[in-house]
Amino acid sequence: MNDSVQTAVVGVTGYAGAELARLLLHHPRLQNKPPIFAGRVDATDAARGGIPLAEIHPELADSKGSGGLRQLPFSWELLTDLGAEVLFLATPHEQSREWVPEALKRGMRVIDLSGAWRLVEAENRAVYAFEDDGTELAASTQAQAVYGMPELHRKQIAGAKLIANPGCYATSVILPLRPLVAAGLVDLEYGIVVDAKSGVSGAGKAPTAKTHYMYAADNLSAYGAFTHRHTGELLEQIGLSTEQIFFTPHLLPIPRGILSTIYVRFREPQTRASIAQVYHRFFAHSPMVRIYDKALPQIQYSVRSNYSDIGFQLASDGRRAVIVSCLDNLLKGASGQAVQNLNVMLGWGESEGLE
């Protein structure tokens, strides 16, 4: 167990990067070792010693001097000279494909928030069209990657050099479904339907025609049916085939949060107590999952927290259930889960700095 560690963050300028910076700056184990922030810095900003963090994210300035930290011009020499031990990458998928092998070569442990290393099967990775897929370096790097969902892979994460942080939608679907499928309760031939809705921040900070206010406000739109990048994560982590699940994401006109409504049919009639027991046993040692035994969760209960909330309603025949799963896409769906993975990796309390 490490008492502390030197972290580094590349990609602090985005929404997930801002949340990651906030969590690391206030983590009780890292009070004497603020993160190294590195990224793209032009010549003018480089001449003044980097970009002040308070200029990038004014909300991160506090009485402890956090606002005085700077984003420095990225270089491997910088990270090495400053003693970076754990590197967080909140970077585009293609950038992470390039940089992760180099970070590992330099002895850093990596927590990658992109989709670069989440998928084991080539047919699932095809949606990203990685140019290096199939190369020896990519294969050897992928072999080191652990899917960063502590509730499923806690032991592997503890010894991992590379953690592939899960997708936000994927987290909201895998956590409520994996216990039921693993217990053999779900009628997979009947199929599973997932109706998932996310706030606009899930699309990233760069504005697009479909994420600006005039499009998203007073609107609700479906997208990515049968083609969403997170589908492969569902198949691999739950243990499903493409024919066994319908997953359709939607854009909600709110800043953040995900609500996934999941429809399942059971092989045999169940009781509310039997389903609740499956969940409570599966997540008995998972402090970031909350099971709602009587009510259904809502986005407002989990937003701005690292909790994954799961609730369900069982039909009178005991064969059909509606499961509702809620989380914050920027926290449990991204940066909060990354810090949760850091805690597990280093042998700290899994929820340290997150509650």
Nearest to 128 by CA among 119, 136, 137, 139: 119
Query: Order of strands, edge to edge, in the sheet holding 320-327?
Result: 221-222, 245-251, 192-198, 258-265, 320-327, 308-314, 289-292
- Identified catalytic residue from 168, 170, 174, 275: 168
Q: Is 168 a catalytic residue?
A: yes
Q: Name residues whose C-beta falls within 8 Å of residue 105's C-beta, 6 or more positions apart in sequence.
A: none
Residue 335 and residue 113 in contact, taking contact as beta carbons nearer than 8 Å = yes
Residue the block writes with tokens 């999952």: 289
18 phi, psi to nearest 5 deg: -65, -45
Alpha helices in the chain (DSSP H): 15-25, 43-47, 53-56, 76-81, 93-105, 122-125, 136-144, 150-158, 168-182, 213-216, 231-234, 272-282, 299-302, 335-345
Amino acid found at 154: R
| Active centre residues (catalytic) | 168
